[in-house]
Chains A and B, each alone.
Chain A
Amino acid sequence: MDTQTREDLLKLFQSKLNQAMRLYLETCSRCGTCTEACHVYASTGQVKHIAAYRHEIVRRIYKKYFKGQGKLASALGEPKELTELALEELYEAAYSCTGCRRCMVYCPHGIDTQMLMSIAKLLLVGANEEPEILSMLADSSIEKGKSLDLFKEGFLTAIKNLESQVVEKWQVEAGQNPIPMDQEGADLLYVALAGAHSIIPAAAIFNAAGENWTLSFFEAVNFGAFVGDPSRTKLILDRIINEAVRLKVKEVCICECGTAFRVMKQLSGKQPFKVSSITEVHARYLREGRIRLDKEKFKDPVTYHDPCQIARNAGVIDEPRYILQNLTHDFREMTDDVRYNWCCGGGGGLVALGEDTLDFRMKSAKVKVDQVQKTGAKILATACENCHTQLSNLNDHYQMGMNVQFLSSMIAEALVQ
């Protein structure tokens, strides 16, 4: 690696060094309490997947270039030079970590491994060594934000084609638009994913609850966050914020996508509108009696997988449980403490990398499979696209024989007219 590249990368590193990051970098006492926390270590037993091992790689580079220790007393902490090889190590550490922050629950100091891995990811972006697919997906999301007019017509037509399926689930009054778009002054802007399964059930439920809603032109998922690039994360986010402001909505409702929700709710500062996950909105409709569900619809026992970015990392915990109490007679918890729910093994962009990571995802999530099977449930519900894909893959791979469901789809199925 030439000097110029290294300097540029170190500038990126520097840009990440806020108070919290410095505390995280300087305080790990390598006590090893986090050892069993990571599902990858718990499933594979490989030391390189212990949270502290992952971030010690970042920490060694930090010591080398940002601490006196690296220059004066290198025998103490084994500072590491930033080289091609170091980047490879960073790649392995960062892209085998799903950013679930389960290890943060274990750590006596509360060190956030996801945040430390974001340094690794940013350095990889700087060196053009990030996973290409994620970068391309991020760029195309941004492109779409810039040239809305180009794809608007096509999108409207595609949405039109979904209308009949929405009406099949919930009959709307004559003249009412089953999937309203571009409605200025709507109360709620729904940000979905590019896929009918993310739009049809949600639309039916909004209509059933009599919501004054409108569908966003953009998809919620933030590939910028997966690839760990703050500027692209913000550009992708801004498309939605701008749309919400333009339409003057009171609330932005994020579909079943963990990363999108956490980025919008927690990692983007204060917005002039309320941010909710679709699960929260559905629980609200139920509480207010705006929708009613048929509790007999699903006869098999149900368990629920808390998406890390929605539950442990963003606090939507009681709502899915409230919904499930209204949806089934036989709900079974996976853990008695949500903070300890195992990650599905698909976060941090791993699912978006598809086949490339499939083998790793299957091996690293063995503990998740065991946890699910112990409940004896037949239906595995969740509220995140990534988790759903990963859990479905696990279901096939380990022949679990489960029925993997989106919580919102189950609600839409069970709506009572």
Chain B
Amino acid sequence: MQTITYLILVPMVYLAYLIFVLGIISRMVKIWRAPVQPTTLQIFPEKKPKWLWALHDSFLLPTVRKHNPVLWFFLMIFHIALLLLIIGHLELFKGFTFFQFWEHEIFLGKGFVGLTMIIALLYLLFRRFASPTRQISIPEDYYLLILIFLTVLFGSQMDWARRWYGYAELSPSDYQTYLTSLLFFRPELPSAVYQTGHSFMLVLHVFFANLFIMFFPFSKIMHSFFSIPMNRLRRG
């Protein structure tokens, strides 16, 4: 059991990030090496400055808001929660204190960010079981949502245990020791991380996160990089 725990918490994490970085670079290079579209693909009427409107379209999803307000609501809270969670994870590296200019406990939102994300994910998943979204969905769409759901669920469990149920054996400082050691390639597993009652949560969280991160570059989640250039094409 300990071997599996170790494999998931150390080598698999490295592997996942290697695949993540190389995968993203290779996909971008492939696209950017293709010939440039020689003519405009703009939609009219135009609004200036075009680049600002393209960013507006990419981040605020105005067309989704107009045509499917419920989807828009869940997409927005999903992405905002995601952003907050990314910040939370970055703060698990010792010395990453940039966001502490506004002093807070690590992982903003007192556990509610994760909960919000879970609700949003359930909505996104269940709506795909209904027509006509079902007919335009492919397996990838479901796998992704389920994978993110599992990752967030186990991640949130740790957060909730600590904050809502007063479970104190596993704390951010343990995570910090672990993650920071990974960053400097001197992997170290504090016993709290893999020998307490809740370590299986962490192991499962990291396991699903690894899968997601490896899958990321080859999935539609690449829209996080591609949406902006595409919206620029539309704005002209």
* Interface residues of A, Cβ cutoff 8 Å to B: 17-24, 26-33, 35-37, 47, 50, 52-53, 56, 68-69, 73, 75-78, 101, 104-112, 115, 266-269, 311-315, 317, 338-339
Which residues of chain A are within 8 angstroms of B137 by Cβ–Cβ distance? 30
Of the residues A21, A50, A76, A101, contact of B43 by C-beta under 8 Å: A101
Picked from A28, A33, A101, the residue with its CB within 8 Å of the CB of B64 is A33
Contacts of A108 in B (CB 8 A): 57-58, 61, 63-64, 227
Q: Are B43 and A313 in contact (CB under 8 A)?
A: yes
A124 to chain B, nearest CB (A): 22
A52 to B128, CA, bound (A): 14
The answer to whether B34 touches A47 (Cβ under 8 A) is no
A22 CB, nearest partner CB in chain B, Å: 5
Q: Does B163 contact A (CB under 8 A)?
A: no
Which of chain A's residues has its CB closest to B130's CB?
A32
Chain B contacts of A105 at CB under 8 A?
A: 43, 63
Contact B139 A75 (CB under 8 A): yes
Do residues A50 and B132 form an inter-chain contact, with CB atoms below 8 A?
yes
* Chain B residues within an 8 Å CB radius of A29: 141, 220, 223
Contact flag A315-B135 (CB < 8 Å), given A19-B36, A27-B226, A110-B230:
no
- Which residue among A31, A37, A106 has the maximum number of chain B CB atoms within 10 Å of its CB? A31
**CA gap between A22 and B32 in the complex, in Å:** 9
How many of chain B's residues have a CB under 8 angstroms from any CB in A? Answer: 49
Q: B19-33: which residues lie under 8 A (CB-CB) from chain A?
A: 27, 30-32
Q: Does A19 contact B31, Cβ atoms closer than 8 Å?
A: yes
For residue B67, which residues in chain A have a CB less than 8 angstroms away from its CB?
33, 36-37, 106
Which of B's residues lie within 8 Å of A, judged by CB? 27, 30-32, 34-46, 57-58, 61, 63-64, 67-68, 71, 75, 131-133, 135-141, 143, 218-220, 222-223, 226-227, 229-231, 233-234
Chain B residues with CB under 8 Å of A76's CB are: 138-140, 143, 219
A268 to B234 CA separation, bound complex (whole angstroms): 18
Enumerate the 9 nearest inter-chain pairs by beta-carbon distance, A residue then B residue, closest first: A110-B234, A315-B44, A20-B37, A76-B140, A47-B135, A32-B133, A18-B35, A27-B226, A52-B136
A24 touching B230 by the CB < 8 A rule? yes
Q: Which of B30, B42, B220 contacts A27 (CB 8 A)?
A: B220
Q: Can you name the residue of chain B whose Cβ is closest to the Cβ of A35?
A: B132
| CB pair A315 B222 closer than 8 Å | no
Choose one: B31, B68, B138, B219; the contact of A56 (CB below 8 Å): B138
> Are A30 and B35 CB-contacts (below 8 A) given A108-B64, A112-B41?
no
Q: Are A312 and B227 closer than 8 Å at their CB atoms?
A: no
Q: In the assembly, what is the distance between CA of A374 and CA of B70, in Å?
A: 28
Q: Interface centre among A22, A75, A111, A312, by most B CB within 10 Å?
A: A22
CA distance A78 to B138 in the complex (A): 7
Q: Which residues of B sit under 8 angstroms from A312, Cβ to Cβ?
A: 43-44
User: Which residues from B are CB-within-8-Å of A52?
Assistant: 136
Q: What are the residues of chain A within 8 A of B135 when measuring CB–CB? A: 47, 50, 53
Q: Are A26 and B31 in contact (CB under 8 A)?
A: yes
**Complex Cα distance A227/B132, Å?**
30
Partner of A77, one of B31, B35, B42, B138: B138
B43 touches A19 (CB 8 A): no
Residue from A76, A108, A312, A338 whose CB has the most chain B CB atoms within 10 Å: A108
Contact status A23-B230, CB under 8 Å: yes
Given contacts A24-B230, A33-B63, A33-B68, contact A18 B41 (CB under 8 A): no
A30 touches B138 (CB 8 A): yes
Contacts of B218 in A (CB 8 A): 68-69, 73
| A26 in complex: contacting residue of B32, B71, B226, B233, CB < 8 Å | B226
Q: In the complex, which residues of chain B have a beta carbon less than 8 angstroms from the beta carbon of A50?
A: 132, 135-136
Known: A19-B37, A23-B230. A30 touches B44 (CB 8 A): no
Least Cβ distance of A42 to chain B in Å?
12
**Taking A47-B131, A317-B45 as contacts, is the C-beta distance between A109 and B136 under 8 angstroms?**
no
- 27 CB < 8 A contacts A-B: A18-B34, A19-B34, A20-B230, A23-B230, A27-B223, A27-B227, A28-B220, A29-B223, A30-B136, A30-B220, A33-B64, A37-B67, A47-B132, A47-B136, A52-B136, A53-B136, A73-B218, A76-B139, A108-B61, A109-B226, A110-B230, A110-B231, A110-B234, A115-B41, A266-B40, A315-B42, A317-B45
State how many angstroms separate the Cβ of B48 from the closest Cβ of chain A.
13
Distance between Cα atoms of A288 and B136 in the complex (Å): 52
Q: Give Cα distance in the complex from A278 to B83, angstroms.
A: 50
Complex contact B35–A109 (CB within 8 A): no
Q: Given A56-B138, A78-B138, A109-B226, A23–B44 Cβ distance below 8 Å?
A: no
Q: Smallest CB–CB gap between A336 and chain B, Å?
A: 12
* Structural contact, A314 and B44, CB atoms closer than 8 A: yes
CB neighbours of B227 from chain A (8 A): 27, 108-109
Instruction: Knowing A19-B34, A27-B227 are in contact, say whether A311-B57 is a contact too (CB < 8 A).
Output: no
